[in-house]
Structure 1
């Protein structure tokens, strides 16, 4: 039995009574049933082994680049082996070789990727260490959904084109950029769009992005694929590779390391 006390100091068995004055009494009954009725024991979440640090891949991750080779990547143009530079555990853009993408296709996933703007960067605006991570590569060139990579440390450009933007769509909630020459981190949750049989959108894509520990895209609903000119639109696809951009500017090429993905 539950004993509770009203405001006049009287114990009331089995009820909670609050009396704030004449004719003003509220009573809350004890919930019926058992706590076990709302306990769920099956299914049991699978057990995974976390990485040694928050940056390390957990045991169920697909490691896309571990500093050794590009076995998980191909050139977008002709699907030949990726030909970017791998040295001292770091992957550096080869602009002449063009964009690269993963051999595997993904739908919904968690992505971890680290990137660095060259310390000796000298240009400005969009020409300052420009690259992109296409969260779904849906065709040749720059087709797909781009998360912008750029030097945005004291480098002015249009807000929906700076680091952490969903290019030409979503301005980041904050500028968490580090100085050129320092490693930066994106952690991304990507929920791919769903389409009806006729190609119409059933559910738009959504993305959450954490840049250097700060949430900069909070479950943003995309308007469609990335476009340089014009308005974004969706086109139907089932699953797609992840693409890294070899941007055609004249700045020093950027670098990547420690890339892994967990399918959701």
Structure 2
């Protein structure tokens, strides 16, 4: 073989070897991420096992609100509430894929970062930082469909770009979210009180100086069916947050109202109804738990109609009767949180006035 042919042959074989190596690499990574995020990045562990909700806690929703099917966590969107992790996280990289099914109607959900274990007063949402999961919302100046990051219900943050209305909310730099029926990829980098959101492979939003900056992670149910899959997390070293920078820890409270029905409660027909995740009294008839509870602590939120003339009502917690009143200078329709204890055993009975609303009903057993 001539010298020229030899050089050409060597170049050809080198090129062929490179092409073969590239092809093998691509075919060997069936989970290649079209967003450009490496699926082989070290240190990630699944946050969802693809089979059941082990490691997750249904905080304030119906048992059927969140379920697993075909390797996905699916929320029906009813009632509004959240599914949180069993433990807190501080610094991490979280990756998740999500898809709304609505093609035209507004579809809302979210991912809560650094949240409390229970809802904030008078709302089904936790205090924390929300990463918006939203499509088909009308174009406005204060919110978008493309990855807003913002503080909710008492949490604090500073957006990377000033909000047009001064809100603690970062609007994304560009529109990258796909519509209903299509999967989106979020990469959430949370470190030292700052959050950076990558939407389908590019950073678009961020906040800093967050409080809390350590807490629970959660998926939100808010009116529309939403699917989540391939949820994984890589924890980063702690920066030792101060006590006031850490979310509340779970104290053992579990929900005894599913937000949708009167299941687990007893009342005369037509005297109570559920509406918007609340128990609503239609008159003066009592509402009683369907079973007795031993020594316990009951936590719940309540309010009266704005025009209520009567400003007090009673509750019986396992034999311990208490009268609850609106302060003389207080507004009847402002939400209030009560925490009542009983060392006895018995039913929980609400003795209302018409229009009383109750939500976020949680119970914690006490040692005898």
Correspondence for 2:111 among 133, 143, 147: 133
| Cα offset, 1:212, TM superposition | 0.6
CA spacing shift, 1:55–1:158, aligned 2, 3 Å: farther
| Cα offset, 1:181, TM superposition | 0.7
Correspondence for 2:69 among 71, 82, 87: 87
Cα distance in 2 for partners of 1:116, 1:58 equals 23
Correspondence for 2:91 among 108, 112, 123: 108
| Cα offset, 1:57, TM superposition | 6.6
Cα distance in 2 for partners of 1:55, 1:133 equals 22
Cα distance in 2 for partners of 1:82, 1:63 equals 23
Q: Report whether the alignment pairs 1:214 with 2:202.
A: yes
SS in 1 for 2:143: helix
| Cα offset, 1:221, TM superposition | 2.1
Question: Of Structure 1 and Structure 2, which has the larger fraction of its residues in strand?
Answer: 2
TM-score (norm 1): 0.59
2:104–2:180 Cα contact (<8 Å) kept: no
SS in 2 for 1:245: strand
CA spacing shift, 1:238–1:210, aligned 2, 3 Å: closer
Note the 1:134-173 alignment, pairs <5 A.
134-138=112-116, 139-140=118-119, 141-151=125-135, 155-167=138-150, 169-173=169-173
SS in 2 for 1:134: strand
CA spacing shift, 1:92–1:57, aligned 2, 3 Å: farther
TM-score (norm 2): 0.44
Cα distance in 2 for partners of 1:82, 1:137 equals 22
Cα distance in 2 for partners of 1:132, 1:90 equals 16
2:197–2:204 Cα contact (<8 Å) kept: yes
SS in 2 for 1:99: strand
Aligned residues: 180
Cα distance in 2 for partners of 1:81, 1:106 equals 25
2:76–2:226 Cα contact (<8 Å) kept: no
| Cα offset, 1:215, TM superposition | 1.4
Q: Report whether the alignment pairs 1:176 with 2:151.
A: no
Cα distance in 2 for partners of 1:82, 1:100 equals 12
Runs of 4+ aligned structure 1 residues displaced above 4 Å come to 80-83
Correspondence for 1:76 among 42, 56, 59: 59
Cα distance in 2 for partners of 1:210, 1:216 equals 6
Q: Which has the higher contact order (CA 8 A, sep 6+)?
A: 1
Deviation per residue, 1:207-241 (Å, 9 max, x gap):
111101121025x325x5xxxxxxxxx4xx57311
Cα distance in 2 for partners of 1:133, 1:116 equals 13
1:207–1:221 Cα contact (<8 Å) kept: yes
- What 5-or-longer segments of structure 2 have no aligned partner? 1-28, 120-124, 151-166, 237-368
